[in-house]
Amino acid sequence: MNTNAKLAGKLALVTGAGTGIGREIALEFARQGADMVLHYAHSATGAESAAEEIHSMGRRAAAFKADFDDLDEVVDLARKAVGFLGGVDCLVNNAGITLNRPFLQVDREQYDVLYNVNIRAQFFLTQEVASNMLARGGGAVCNLTSVHGLQGAPEHSVYAGTKGAIIAHTRALAVELAHQGIRVNAIAPGWVTVENYYKAIPGFNEEAARESATNSVPVGRAGTPLDIARLAAFLCSDDAEFIVGQTIVADGGTTSLMSLFPNFREQSENRFGKGYVPGV
């Protein structure tokens, strides 16, 4: 094993690890030396194939199913993870679902499902895992939120509400647990192309996505799951031991850009300051 790996010897649970960002986080944690439990909600294929890949790295790994709309299954997942690994040092709360729907058309069941899966399950899973972390002398929690928790988008009132709740929950929990040795932080990804884009957006393809990202994201590209995975590994490592209660935005500069400037890569023809600022 690489003794210089950031997470050497750590025991980690990653939720929503069957696809996309969560799967890459689990793989990156293993590459950095951690033994892993991968959670999935529906199909086992992605999580189990990732577990096999982790085995090939010489790390321990197992994939467990849990419906995050069912709190009994959420708690059982935490207990299975602790049982398999012998404890949990790092928890990455990545699992979540999304919905775009006009505000006036959202029904109670849709609202409840999103809040149950995205924040209620995260809350009580963390509660269960934190008890084990305290017994072990500490740990690190990384919550995945979204830029939707920071900026407004039409038809995302429910989803954005859950992501904003994660940001607030992260801050409050962090200051409560920091002195007990548990660090809590969050990541707010921007545009990261994952499998769901191809399912949800008619005609979505890599070429069109690349062109759109080049034009709209300041860094000139969409994010990748690995971009987020590396940040999660850092936040759960000892290198980040003085970072507490923060939501790190990883969006290629999207939230830093004023929407009033669509042609942000072109030099402006306007000359504000002319007549009263030297050299203008």
Domain boundaries, the chain: 11-256
* Calpha distance 54→230 (Å, rounded): 16
> Which pLDDT band, with edges at 50, 70 and 90, does 212 fall under?
confident
Which pLDDT belongs to residue 237? 98
Phi, psi of 187 (to 5 degrees): -120, 135
* Calpha distance 244→182 (Å, rounded): 9
Upper half-sphere CA count for residue 270 (Cβ side, 13 Å):
5
Q: Active site includes 163?
A: yes
Rounded mean pLDDT, 226-241? 98
* Residue 257 in this model has a pLDDT that exceeds 70: yes
Residue 70's CB: how many other CB atoms inside 10 A? Answer: 13
Give the residue from 58, 67, 41, 62 showing the smallest Cα distance to 50: 62
More confident residue, 275 or 16: 16
Domain 11-256, CATH homologous superfamily name and number: NAD(P)-binding Rossmann-like Domain (3.40.50.720)
Which pLDDT belongs to residue 209? 83
> Which pLDDT band, with edges at 50, 70 and 90, does 238 fall under?
very high
Give the residue from 97, 98, 81, 106 showing the smallest Cα distance to 14: 81
Give the residue from 209, 171, 172, 170 showing the smallest Cα distance to 191: 209
* Calpha distance 280→252 (Å, rounded): 31
Model pLDDT for residues 153-194, shown as the tens digit of each residue: 999 999 999 999 999 999 999 999 999 999 999 999 999 988
User: What H or E segment, with its residue span, contains residue 77?
Assistant: helix 71-85
Average pLDDT value over all residues in the chain = 94
Which pLDDT belongs to residue 3? 57
Candidates 6, 157, 163, 237; catalytic one = 163
Which residue, chain included where needed, has tokens 């999207």? Answer: 254
E strands within 66-128?
Answer: 90-93
Whether residue 171 contacts residue 188, with contact meaning beta carbons closer than 8 Å, is answered with: no
Q: Active site includes 146?
A: yes
* Calpha distance 187→68 (Å, rounded): 20
Candidates 40, 157, 159, 237; catalytic one = 159
Model pLDDT for residues 10-22, shown as the tens digit of each residue: 999 999 999 999 9
* Residue 200 in this model has a pLDDT that exceeds 80: no
Candidates 146, 197, 199, 216; catalytic one = 146
Q: Active site includes 111?
A: no
* Residue 224 in this model has a pLDDT that exceeds 80: yes
Whether residue 41 contacts residue 28, with contact meaning beta carbons closer than 8 Å, is answered with: no
